[in-house]
């Protein structure tokens, strides 16, 4: 399952939202990835999430497989579209 979101945070995906993404991904038993510009990154690794380099306005796909995939995608998507910058 996959869904694409637009990053709304004015400072992009920095340490705080990246941590929230990792926490949401780790709560899910299956595999979860972020995809940007044809590159796939594990959403369960803080270093990998920061490596996405997502800035405001970028499109990022969240890919998850397994039971609860939709909930995991929605939780991570909520972080991606949040405008909270702190």
Residues 6+ apart with CB under 8 A from 85: 9, 10, 11
Please check whether residue 68 is in contact with residue 76, taking contact to mean a CB–CB distance below 8 angstroms: no
Q: How many helices (H) and strands (E) does the chain have?
A: 3, 4
**From the candidates 3, 14, 16, 19, which is the catalytic residue?**
14
Is there a catalytic annotation at residue 14? yes
Catalytic residues: 14
């Amino acid at each position: 399952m996959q869904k694409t979101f637009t990053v709304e945070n004015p400072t992009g995906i920095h340490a705080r939202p990246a941590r929230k993404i990792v926490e949401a991904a780790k709560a899910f038993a299956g595999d979860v990835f972020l995809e940007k510009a044809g590159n796939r990154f594990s959403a369960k690794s803080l270093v990998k999430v920061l490596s996405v380099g997502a800035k405001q306005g970028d499109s990022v796909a969240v890919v998850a497989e397994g039971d609860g995939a939709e909930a995991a995608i929605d939780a991570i998507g909520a972080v991606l579209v949040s405008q909270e910058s702190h």
